[in-house]
Structure 1
Amino acid sequence: MQLSRLARIATLVAMAGLIGGLVLWLGPLYGPLACLPLLPALPGLWRGRRYTYGWTSLLSLAYLTVLLTEFTARGASGWITAPALLATVIVFTGCLCFVRWQAREQTPPPTA
């Protein structure tokens, strides 16, 4: 199995976890609003488009910043953000790995 395929699957699963974690953390009213910026990325992630994976990694940094701040600022009650924080880290890492590994897999080997 190709490494880019594993990174793609991990990113898609983590994206679903991030959306679920945001809804769990922010509740049924504000959770879907926080997920709105993620929705345009879903078709491109599903189709495996490198460009979408690139900008999704940048988008995930905003979520990482907010969730990490909430996690550290709230102390013991900040643990409710832990699933979304973990999912965000996996989305970011998966996006970067997918772009890098797919470019490596599509590059023809050098001929001597």
Structure 2
Amino acid sequence: MQATHTPAPSPVRLSRNLAVASLLGLIVLGLVWELWLAPLRPGGSWLALKVLPLCLPLAGLLKNRMYTYRWLSLLLWLYFTEGVVRATSEPAPGAWLAALEVLLSLALFAACVMHIRLRLKAAPTQPDTATP
């Protein structure tokens, strides 16, 4: 009887999965936070619309587009900044959710940077055709 061996996922695939999971986590956190758990106003807040820009890169991450990883790594600093400000200025439930937003933003940034570096490292190098 032969045991089937499944190969370990590649580091590129792991970084992609971490990026997608972190992005989905930020989207869900933003909605749950602003609509149910600790909205700025009772009954929900229009601030839940802040997750709309996060929905745009989801398709690019799922299609494995390098450009999406690059611009997302810049966009997510807005969410990191919001998390830091709200973690230090809001009362308990909001502060905990803001700290979670900071952690998810850092995880997403790390995943994007890892993914970009691993893909560039794995890309075949092209010889320089412009010789002087």
Partner of 2:113: 96
Greater relative CO (CA pairs within 8 A, separation 6+): 1
What 5-or-longer segments of structure 1 have no aligned partner?
A: none
Partner of 2:3: none
Partner of 1:86: 103
**Contact 1:11–1:91, Cα closer than 8 Å, also in 2:** yes
Q: Aligned residues, how many?
A: 109
User: Displacement of 1:52 after TM fit?
Assistant: 0.4
User: Displacement of 1:75 after TM fit?
Assistant: 5.3
Partner of 1:69: 85
Give me the CA root mean square deviation: 1.9
Identity of aligned residues (%): 30
Matched, 1:7 2:15: yes
Q: Distance in 2 between matches of 1:21 and 1:31?
A: 12
**Contact 2:83–2:102, Cα closer than 8 Å, also in 1:** yes
Larger Rg: 2
Q: Which moved more, 1:71-80 or 1:2-11?
A: 71-80
- The alpha-carbon distance between structure 1 residues 31 and 107, as it changes in their structure 2 partners (threshold 3 A), is farther
Higher helix share: 1
Q: Distance in 2 between matches of 1:86 and 1:25?
A: 15
* Cα shift readout 1:4-58 (whole Å, capped 9, x = no counterpart): 1111000101111101111122115435411111122111110111110000000
Which stretches of structure 1, 4 residues or more, deviate above 3 A after TM superposition? none
Q: Distance in 2 between matches of 1:99 and 1:6?
A: 12
Q: Distance in 2 between matches of 1:39 and 1:32?
A: 12
1:53 pairs with 69, 74, 79, which one?
A: 69
Q: Distance in 2 between matches of 1:90 and 1:2?
A: 18
What 5-or-longer segments of structure 2 have no aligned partner?
A: 1-8, 36-43, 126-132
Q: Distance in 1 between matches of 2:88 and 2:76?
A: 18
Q: Distance in 2 between matches of 1:85 and 1:20?
A: 14
